[in-house]
Structures are given as structure tokens and as C-alpha cells.
Amino acid sequence: MSHVRKAALPLLVVALGAALAACSRNEQAADAATTPVAAPEATPAAEPAGDNVHAFQIGTLQAAALRDGGMSVPNDNNVFGVGLTPDEVAGVLAAAGLETDQLHLSVQPLLVRDGERVYLFDTGAGGNMGDSAGKLGAALQAAGVEPAQVTDVFISHAHGDHVGGLVDAAGALAFPNAAIHISQPEWEDLQAQASGEGAAMAGLVAAITPKVSTFAPDAELVAGRVQSLPTPGHTPGHVAFRISAGEGETLLYVGDQVHHPVISVQRPQWTIRFDRDPAAGAAQRARTLEAAADSGERLYSVHFPFPGLGRIERGSDGQLAWVAE
Ligand SMILES: [Zn+2]
């Protein structure tokens, strides 16, 4: 996220709208999209494709973080720390040694190979975030996987930076042979959005419908391997995924319960605009983080700095912290 550039103002306004729409489809986001101030900077495709793949193991399973892109959000209290002052947010960022005028988010779907099966967890933004994301295809290729080899896509929730990559630029299925697993309440919500907001999501919904396989939020999706965990709040049908590889080796894909490695972890109770139900989102975030601190389980966070692997630790003062691998 260190390679940022200034773009022309109209582009920035579009990027802000796209970034917010990607994570949130509420009315406040629509308002923000029309406000040409404090716009974020886009992250260009400056890195070679190989730098967008981080291969690692989950026990005996081969996995890889695939960088789709990223976004920057201004510290203007419109997204992070809603209801607080920018100085309050800046204070927490500064104490962690981060810049204080904007917050950087990465976008990195997860690839897992399981014998003959190839899993993707979320699909990035596709065309929803302009040049700042939508590079999953290149990263997948760099990881040595063709789109047609993907057998299963697991969707944490139906925001544009997670489902956008399900279709290509022409609107056709990006992973033509893959079953698309999405929780029943989330699928119902996406369908309702598509009928209410029109073209963009309607086209996506029509394209993926033949491949969608819905599940109860607490389902075992692949026996002994992939379990979904109900984690509503960010969206009504949001789920996390626990990937198990035997011998007690697990990885918890937390989805969008958290967005920023400092603000989300150290101030889980703060309202983030992206959460559809702010109170439920904050409560769920706190539960997940406290459980992760207790268990020491390895986490994968789709929006934390690439590659998003790490654990939650609790300091002697009770303060939680993200410790990246
Ligand atoms: Zn997201």
C-alpha cells in the first residue's frame, strides 16, 4: 500500500464512490459518493504479478493470498470512527506509528488447494473499484491456477469488493466451473438489492444464479475441511470460514468483521460506516477478536495489509493487537 499516486479529481470522486459502494450499499455511502472532498487515492498496479501472490501452508494444504488491489479511505469520520473526531482516530493511528490522514485497506481473496479441488474465498472487486483493484485474475494466474480449475468459491458476504470478481468485464462467469457458495440470508439480501438498485448487481445476480449453492450460516461446507460460522452485523448473512487441515491446524477467514489492523482491533466498538447494522457489527467484531485472542488461532483478514495472515494478542492492559506473521 506504499505505492500511491494522485489522480485527477473526477477519477478520485468516482474511486471514492466505488470504494464505498464496494463495502457498503447504504444511503450514507451514496451521499459520500457525491461529495467531491477528501477523496481517497487509488493504488496502481505497480507491482509485478508475482508480488501479488503470497504462498503459505495450512497444515498440509497449499494456500495463497492473492492481491486484488486496495483502497485508501480519508480520516474524515465518514467511514472509520463515525461520530468521533478525526483527532480521536488520528491519535490511535499515530500511537501505532501509522499515518493519520488516511487509512489503507488491502483486498486479498484466499486460494486453497485441496487435492483435486481448488477453493477461492471471495473474489475481489472485479470492475467495481476502477484501477485500484480487480487484479485477482492476474494473481491467480501467477499462482499457477486457471480460472476454469476453480471448483468452489466461498463468499463471506455480498459486497462489491467480495463478489465483483465473480464475473469478468463482459459480465460472464469468471470461474465457469465453480460452485458459488453463499449463505441463504446473504443470497436473499443480494437478490433484494439487485431488484432495488438495478443494473450492476442485477447483471451479476443473473450471471451467477445457475452456479449459486446456498447454505445455512453455520454449515459444514466441505466435510472436515471448510466450516461456515455465522457472523452477522456487517451484512445480514455475513459468515466467516474455518479451514481445517487436521492435526488441529486451522485458519479462520474472518471476512469483513474487521477492516483495519489498528482501528478495527484496538477499537472494535467504534462504528464503521461499512457495517449495515453498526451495533451488531461492533458486538460481533468484539466477540470474534476476544475469541481469537483467547485461542491464539491463526487468522486471515481480507482487508488487512497483504497478505493478511496473523493472530490477535492481548496485552497486559487487556488491549488487543494484530500481530502479522
Ligand atoms: Zn470488504
Average pLDDT over residues 4-12: 32
Answer yes or no: is pLDDT of 44 > 60.
Answer: no
CA of 124 to the centre of ligand 1 (A): 8
Per-residue pLDDT reduced to its tens digit, 210-256: 999 999 999 999 999 999 999 999 999 999 999 999 888 999 999 99
Backbone phi, psi, residue 77, to 5°: 65, 15
Could you tell me the distance, in angstroms and rounded to a whole number, from the CA of residue 244 to the centre of ligand 1? 23
Residue 125 CA to ligand 1 center (angstroms) comes to: 9
Span 81-106, average pLDDT: 95
Residue 169 buriedness (CB in 10 A; 0-12 / 13-18 / 19+): exposed
Q: In which band, very low, low, confident or very high, does the pLDDT at 187 lie, cut at 50, 70 and 90?
A: very high
C-alpha 311 to ligand 1 mean position (Å):
19
Instruction: Kindly give the distance from the C-alpha atom of residue 226 to the centroid of ligand 1, in angstroms, as a whole number.
Output: 21
With a pLDDT cut of 90, the percent of the chain lying above it is 78
Q: What is the pLDDT of residue 145?
A: 98
Residue 129 Cα to ligand 1 midpoint, Å, equals 12
The per-residue pLDDT of the chain, averaged, comes to 87
pLDDT digits 0-9 by tens, 149-177: 999 999 999 999 999 999 999 999 999 99
Ligand 1 center to 10 CA (angstroms): 23
pLDDT of residue 248: 85
Measure 317 CA to ligand 1 centroid, in angstroms.
30
**Which is more confidently placed, 210 or 26?**
210
CA distances to 122, 306, 318 from 265, rounded to whole Å, are 22, 16, 12
Query: For strand 226-230 and strand 239-244, is the pairing parallel, antiparallel, or unpaired?
Result: antiparallel
CA 160 / ligand 1 centre spacing (Å): 8
The pairs formed by 169-175 with CB atoms below 8 angstroms and a separation of 24 or more are 169/127, 171/203, 171/204, 171/207, 172/207, 173/207, 173/208, 173/211, 174/123, 174/126, 174/137, 174/147, 175/120, 175/123, 175/147, 175/148, 175/150
User: What spacing in Å lies between the alpha carbon of 209 and ligand 1's midpoint?
Assistant: 21
Q: How far is the CA of 234 from the centre of ligand 1 (A)?
A: 9
CA of 159 to the centre of ligand 1 (A): 6
Q: What is the pLDDT of residue 48?
A: 55
Q: What is the pLDDT of residues 113-156, one digit of tens each?
A: 999 999 999 999 999 888 899 999 999 999 999 999 999 999 99
- Residue 108 in this model has a pLDDT that exceeds 50: yes
pLDDT in tens, 258-281: 999 999 999 999 999 999 999 999
The set of cell numbers assigned to 238 is 455475513
Q: How far is the CA of 247 from the centre of ligand 1 (A)?
A: 31
| Domains in the chain with CATH codes | 9-324 (3.60.15.10)
Distance 256 CA to ligand 1 centre (A): 5
Q: How far is the CA of 303 from the centre of ligand 1 (A)?
A: 7
pLDDT grade for 193, boundaries at 50, 70 and 90: confident
Question: What is the structure's pLDDT at 171?
Answer: 94
Q: For the residues 59-72, what does the mean pLDDT come to? A: 96
What is the pLDDT averaged over residues 29-49? 41
Start-to-end C-alpha separation, the chain: 17
Coil, helix or strand at residue 299: strand
Q: What average pLDDT score do residues 101-110 get?
A: 97
User: Distance from the CA of 316 to the center of ligand 1, in angstroms?
Assistant: 31
**What's the 16 CA to ligand 1 centre distance in angstroms?**
14
Distance between Cα 25 and ligand 1 center (Å):
11
* Cα(117) to centroid(ligand 1), Å: 25
Is the CA virtual torsion 30, 194, 45, 254 positive or negative? positive
Average pLDDT rounded to a whole number, residues 73-92: 92
